[in-house]
Amino acid sequence: MVKGRVEIYAEACKSCLYCVETCPRGVLSRSDGTNSKGYQYIAPLRPELCIGCGLCARICPDAAISVYKEEQHG
């Protein structure tokens, strides 16, 4: 089984929400925190649902998202 891990570079995020709208599993959401530019950055609030499809990283106009696939054994 393949599982994904998503990382957000909060300082690059402008909170456009493209990634939130694109994620088929509802992994991402706007966080309560703000970055140094005053944007409420996106965070993986349901990371256990990530399948590593990478749609969020591909649609992000600021390259603020990295997605990694991890093999799950068991």
> What is this structure's pTM?
0.89
pLDDT at residue 28 in the model: 98
pLDDT at residue 27 in the model: 97
Tokens 């749609």, located at residue: 55
Please list the rounded mean pLDDT of every run of 10 residues in the chain (74 residues): 90 98 97 96 96 97 95 68
CA distance 38 to 67: 24
Nearest Cα to Cα of residue 16 among 68, 67, 59: 59
pLDDT at residue 1 in the model: 65
pLDDT at residue 74 in the model: 60
| Contact between 26 and 53 (Cβ < 8 Å) | no
| Main-chain phi, psi angles of 32, to 5 degrees | -85, -15
| Contact between 52 and 70 (Cβ < 8 Å) | yes
